[in-house]
Amino acid sequence: MTRPCPGPLVVTSKPGWTPPPGGVDCHMHIFGPYDRYPLSPGRGYTPPEASIGMYRELLATLGLSRTVIVQPSIYGTDNAVTLDAVAALGRANARAVVVVDDSFDHAALGAMGERGACGVRFNAVSGNGTPLEQLEALGERLASLGWHLQLYAHDREMVALEPVLARLPCPIVIDHMGGVKLAEGGAANPGFKAMLRLLENGAWAKLCGYRSSAAGAPYTDVADMARAMIAAAPDRCVWGTDWPHPSMWPPLQVPDDGVLLDRLADWAPSEAMRRAILIDNPVRLYGF
């Protein structure tokens, strides 16, 4: 039996600042309803349902209006829940990052593009996804479509994959601070340094740092890492909640997304920087 994990907080706090209109949450997931979207038997965890209605309430609380729905590992390469969520939220306000393998041909990818897909995720942490050995083959296909490749990997894998990622012809988006943990060296970690080199040479990154924290809420200890990423690529950093925060087993705390948005305000203190991260950069990357 797969391991159950907690769901999101019932009540989310309002952030201490007001995001600019049109802000984008660039990383979240929809889970269920499970009678319509059954879970993959190859999944590594079993979360409670996290519905579109619940997520709409979260967006209203945070003051954001657009989103990028990322295919979660619990569904493998069956992207129905993610693409249907784009339709429910509306193409004007939503995009999808899907999970595929090399059995998906150009026509299949194009059909998903018509439904709002614009990138493919490789998840080497949660599993139940595309083998890393397919990075280069799929990277070629994504380049022809104008899509990006999103990678969630452990820090040690980031070091090994740096030369592969550097030569891919499509844009690269790195998840979750490159998988680097403060307890494993933080900004001094070789994986973090590899990620910074990739950012300096054109890669993108998602500023979603609570999984890197050693101290837990309010996650102030990841500030140096986040600021280094923004300094390396101010026009290629985006931000995401990672709602509903799967795989946060006790004693880990399920994050409060209002607190997470307040951390972005600390990392990006100027109005121009916040607008770039929440609006200008996502518009370019996802085609809003």
Q: Known catalytic residues?
A: 242
Going by C-beta distance under 8 Å and a sequence separation of 6 or more, which residues neighbour residue 195?
A: 158, 174, 177, 178, 180, 203, 205, 229
